[in-house]
Amino acid sequence: MTGDKGDFWHAVREATRQLKAKHGIPCPECRRLHPKADPTILLPGDRCRVDGYRDRRARLTQRDIAELGKRDPLRGTPSADFPEGE
């Protein structure tokens, strides 16, 4: 059984996974330079830690982040912007 901090960081990691699944792209430099390795999945505006490539797409807005399942990704509760009944 984890404590409050453990639950919080688990939710943060899960939210990041969901964001990368929806908005992420594989790093083109990783694909070019390391074809046999799995490429880093980049969110808009992120920089690849392996080769320094920066994704030039516009950063995600709070609205984009909140649209993940119409829930607040860090709390796992319905967001104020997206009530459950709508």
The DSSP line for 17-80 is: HHHHHHH-EE-HHHHHH-TTSPPPEE-TT-B-TTT--B--SPPPPHHHHHTSTTB-TTT-SB-S
The residues, any chain, with a CB within 8 Å of residue 21's CB and separated by 6 or more, are: none
Q: Residue ranges of the domains in the chain?
A: 4-66
pLDDT at 17: 92
What pTM did the predictor assign?
A: 0.69
pLDDT at 50: 93
pLDDT at 31: 95
What whole-number distance in Å separates Cα of residue 14 and Cα of residue 23? 14
Instruction: Note down pLDDT in tens along the chain; length 86 residues.
Output: 568 888 889 988 998 999 999 999 999 999 999 999 999 999 999 999 999 999 999 998 888 888 775 555 455 555 554 454 44
The secondary structure of residue 84, as a DSSP letter, is: T
What whole-number distance in Å separates Cα of residue 66 and Cα of residue 72? 6
